[in-house]
Structure 1
């Protein structure tokens, strides 16, 4: 009997997945993957220089100060960057990370996809033991009727019984201040058995972020200033009259005006001028 049990135990041991190797934190940026769990180093982070972000001065200064505090081991707040699409929310997070590192502070950034939120406790376990400070970055965050994602984020913000690791801070972006579509909020309120309680708990999730940074549609002057900044940074030389006329026409065909639209126009302009973009 004992021999049979030994063989069964050996067979089960062979079937068990190999233990995950300890993550290598030499890189400055990582993407969290599951199945299997791993932190994938990012060789080159796609980002713009912080000086090219126009019309977000207050948000930039606030997030930069908060991030510096955290990188120095001082108290800092989780941050929710919410508002208009294409206005530089995720660009600001990545630019602030680069700026703080350029100042000589040890700060890593880990991108966590919204769909991987249920695995966040396993990710935090890996980060907790590391001798570094980490920004946990969740882009385009919002919730539907899937309660598991909501509960996972709540655990990060509230800390749970073990508490959020002191070396991890959460920065999230969303198009919605309350992380839920308005029609869903109203629908849940009208169908709740105890109106208010569960729904208000979800709505108040955004209150658990210490910093709320709002991003709003840009003005025409800001839109043009963004494009001029890109031209100066990348050596694209055209007359200002031509730039304004073509940029306004581009914006009209898109039916929108934002930082993203400004960048897309600039890419087209640089290509037409035969200027390659490096970095």
Structure 2
């Protein structure tokens, strides 16, 4: 009978083969973007429209692109809250601004999109990013907190400003939200018989931490048609303003997102890929 070796060693070898290998360490200096859900995953390309195609939001575009460019250059830059109407290009503008800044200075900046349920892990992310010679825009899309969630807004306020685990100097936060104050507001906030401002001020304190708070509003008919005209010219699609307005009427809304859905319809009918 041949010697099978140490039984404990053979068991240990078998267990090691069952355990999946540890994921490779994240290379935070190579990719233009990352997704963070407690661990990082590099993204090889940021999908975003050209800045020239984002129409009807020129003042917002100037503020966001300028701030992202300053961050990429290592200059003083703000944390940003982009709030307001659905479908008006808040997240698209952030992505496009990072693409433009990266094109101007390749590798200087990266976008890190954080899943909303990964907020408790932000301190660990900041600790890692703060050690790197690169600038990062940490992006939380469509953020909102339940009425019962008091810890989330307080933690985010601390990370933005004043806490011992505040985001490092090479990192800025960008948040999109349908609500100007991010958290829900209620008329009952005024019912405090002692100091009715206390409840309101506590809820507004989170939005006040952002150096730039930029509102996005439902676009006018002219802006909606201008967005569609820009896409049609870029993609060589026929423009029928009456049909475009009917599309918006059926959707019950005029916005950049509705305009893009209409363009998708036109491209499909023309047999083109987007």
Q: Is the partner of 1:102 in helix, strand or coil?
A: helix
Tell me the distance in 1 between the aligned counterparts of 2:197 and 2:133: 42
TM value normalised by structure 2: 0.86
Give a deviation string over 1:129-148, Cα, whole Å, max 9, x none: 12110000011112222122
**Pairing partner for 2:265 from 259, 263, 268:** 268
Give a deviation string over 1:14-51, Cα, whole Å, max 9, x none: 9xx998754212111000022xxx11111232211111
TM value normalised by structure 1: 0.84
Query: Does structure 1 residue 110 correspond to structure 2 residue 112?
Result: yes
Tell me the distance in 2 between the aligned counterparts of 1:254 and 1:20: 45
Aligned-residue offset at 1:188: 4.8
Structure 2: gaps spanning 5 or more residues: 1-15
Aligned partner of 1:89 in structure 2 is 90
| Structure 2 CA distance for partners of 1:73 and 1:41, relative to 1, 3 Å | same
Query: Does structure 1 residue 32 correspond to structure 2 residue 41?
Result: no
The count of residues paired between Structure 1 and Structure 2 equals 254
User: Contact between 1:120 and 1:152, CA under 8 Å: does it hold in 2?
Assistant: no
| Structure 2 CA distance for partners of 1:260 and 1:210, relative to 1, 3 Å | same
User: Contact between 2:139 and 2:173, CA under 8 Å: does it hold in 1?
Assistant: yes
| Structure 2 CA distance for partners of 1:149 and 1:21, relative to 1, 3 Å | farther
Give a deviation string over 1:207-248, Cα, whole Å, max 9, x none: 110001111111111111111111122222x2x4xx111111
Aligned partner of 1:177 in structure 2 is 180
User: Contact between 1:118 and 1:148, CA under 8 Å: does it hold in 2?
Assistant: no
Structure 1: gaps spanning 5 or more residues: 1-13
Q: What RMSD, in angstroms, separates the aligned Cα atoms of the two structures?
A: 2.3
**Pairing partner for 1:164 from 162, 167, 173:** 167
Query: Does structure 1 residue 23 correspond to structure 2 residue 20?
Result: no
Tell me the distance in 1 between the aligned counterparts of 2:201 and 2:68: 30
